[in-house]
Amino acid sequence: MVNTLAGIDIGELARIVKGYGAYFGGAVGFPIAFRDRELEVGRLVDRLVGVRVVYGPLGCGKSTLLMNLARALSEVRSDVIVIYVNFEEKGFMNAVRAYIPGLAGGVGDSIIRAVERDLGPVLDRVGLGAVVGVGRLFMDIIRGVSDDAVIRDKYVVLIFDELDKWYRSMLNAPDNAQVGYGPIEGEVMSYAEHFENFPTMDKVQGLSVVFGFSDQGAVNVVRKYGGKGLLEGLLLWYIPKADFMDVLNEVTTKAKPSTSIDTELLWQLTGGNLRELARIVFNNDWSIEKWLRDVIIKLSGVNGVLAFLEEAGRYGLNIAEARAHGLGDAARMAFDELLSMNVFLNVYDYELRLSELPSEPWVRDVNTGNVITILPQLPAYYWVLRVMAGKRSIGVEPSDVIREITENV
C-alpha cells in the first residue's frame, strides 16, 4: 500500500471542506462559515494508511472537521471510499454516512450491508458486547464484496467518531467518573494488529482508520501503544484567534448581545472553543459572569483539589506542569481526578500536531515558549485554578477571574 493519496489538490480539498460550513449552538443555533483548518486537512490526508487517533479538547470542532472531510474526499477523488460513523447519533441512518463514488455492480450496496450488519447493533445500543462490530467492519467489507478487483485499487477511509462518548453513555458514567476503556482499546488495537499481521490489506490501495476521541481515558491508548501497527495520535486544537474573532463578528450579527462584549476576555476564557461560546450566548444570554459561576467555577468541588492547589502555588502556578515538580500524594490524586474529569488533557510529545497552538499562558511556558505537556481543556479552567491557588481557597468569584485576566494579559 502507498502512504499518500497521490495527486490530490489539498487547496481544492480544503475549499470543499470549508464550503460545507459549520453549525453554531446546536438545536437553538444557526449555520456559520467554516473557518481555518487548511493545515489540518493537509496533514490528515498526507498518509492514508494506518490507524490514527484524532483527539483534542471538547469543543475543538473535531466532528465537524471529520464529517466535512469525509464528504469532501469523495468529491475530489473517485477512487476513495469513505465511511463516517458518529456514535453519538441515534440510529443507523443518522449515524452513518457512506461516500462511495464510482462503485457499480452492487459493490456499494454490499459495503453498506456490511456496515449495517456490523454497526447496526452498536448504534442501536443493544449492549457493550456489540462494540466488537467496529473492529470487524473492514475485514467484513473486504470479504463481503464479491468483486475484489473493483475495490483493489481504491483507498478506503473509515472514520469512527465519538466511540468513547458512546461507551460512557452505555455505562451511564457521569463526566467525573473514572472508567476503564478496555473495549475501546481493543477496537483501536484490532486494526493495528491487522496492519502488523494480516497481508489481506493489500487488497486495497490504501486503508486509513481514524478514531475521533475527546475523553482523556480513551486517548491514553495512544500513549500505551503508539507506533504499533502504524498507530499515532494527532492533536487537534481550537481555531486560531483571528478566526475566533471573525466568528464573534458573525455571531453577534445573528444573536445580538444586549450590551457590549469584551472580545479579548472571551478569547482568554474560551481559547476558540465554539461550544462554550455558544453556551455563553444561548444558555447565559452573553453573561460571562453567569457562565463562570454556574459552569466553570464548579470544578472546585473536585475532591482534594485544595491539596493540589496549595502544592501548585509553591511553584508560581504554572498550573499545567505543577505535577512535574514532585507534588505530594494527595495533590497527585487531585490532579489525576482533574484529568479524568477532562479539566486537563495530556499532550504527548511524540505525535503529530494537526493544529498550531497559540502563544498564550495556558498553552506555553512563559519562560521557554515551549508547549506545556499537560494543557487545560479550556483556558477558563487555567484562570480559575490560578486564582484559587493564589488565594489558597476555592472561594472564587467571577470578578476575581476577570480581574486576573485583565491584569495579566
Whether 263 shows a pLDDT value over 90: the answer reads yes
Higher pLDDT, 158 or 150: 158
What's the confidence (pLDDT) of residue 299?
A: 63
Between CA 216 and CA 339 the distance in angstroms is 7
Whether 315 shows a pLDDT value over 50: the answer reads no
What's the confidence (pLDDT) of residue 29?
A: 94
Instruction: For residue 105, count CB atoms less than 10 angstroms from its CB and return exposed for 0-12, middle for 13-18, buried for 19 or more.
Output: exposed
What's the confidence (pLDDT) of residue 192?
A: 87
Whether 2 shows a pLDDT value over 90: the answer reads no
What's the confidence (pLDDT) of residue 224?
A: 84
Whether 390 shows a pLDDT value over 90: the answer reads no
What global pTM score does this model have?
0.88
Mark out the alpha helices in 77-181 (DSSP H runs).
Answer: 92-95, 107-123, 132-144, 148-152, 163-171
Task: Tally the residues of the chain.
Answer: 409
Between CA 322 and CA 47 the distance in angstroms is 36
Task: Reduce the DSSP state of residue 316 to 3 states and report it.
Answer: coil
The region that residue 216 occupies, defined by phi over 0 for left and psi between -120 and 50 for alpha, beta otherwise, is: alpha
Which set of grid coordinates corresponds to residue 8? Answer: 490530490
Going from the C-alpha of 40 to that of each of 43, 65, 352, 355, the distances in angstroms are 5, 9, 11, 6
Between CA 236 and CA 273 the distance in angstroms is 12
Between CA 351 and CA 53 the distance in angstroms is 10
Residue 381's pLDDT band (cuts 50, 70, 90)? confident
Whether 316 shows a pLDDT value over 50: the answer reads no
What's the confidence (pLDDT) of residue 221?
A: 85
What's the confidence (pLDDT) of residue 351?
A: 56
Higher pLDDT, 78 or 321: 78
Higher pLDDT, 317 or 201: 201
What's the confidence (pLDDT) of residue 24?
A: 96
What's the confidence (pLDDT) of residue 369?
A: 78
Residue 278's pLDDT band (cuts 50, 70, 90)? very high
* End-to-end CA separation in angstroms for the chain: 50
Cβ pair 321, 373 in contact under 8 A = yes
**In the block, residue with C-alpha cell 494527532:** 234
Q: Please compute the mean of the pLDDT values over residues 30-49 and round it to a whole number.
A: 90
Residue 400's pLDDT band (cuts 50, 70, 90)? very high
Whether 308 shows a pLDDT value over 60: the answer reads no
Beta bridge partners of 344: 376
Indicate the average pLDDT of the chain. Answer: 82
The number of beta carbons lying within 10 Å of the beta carbon of residue 193 is 15
Whether 323 shows a pLDDT value over 70: the answer reads no
- Tell me what percent of the residues of the chain surpass a pLDDT of 90: 34
Picking from 115, 117, 118, the residue whose alpha carbon sits closest to that of residue 100 is: 115
- Tell me what percent of the residues of the chain surpass a pLDDT of 70: 81
Residue 302's pLDDT band (cuts 50, 70, 90)? low
Residue 179's pLDDT band (cuts 50, 70, 90)? confident
Cβ pair 100, 74 in contact under 8 A = yes
Whether 126 shows a pLDDT value over 80: the answer reads no
Higher pLDDT, 66 or 364: 66
Q: What contacts 363, CB < 8 A, 6 or more positions away?
A: 357, 371, 372, 375
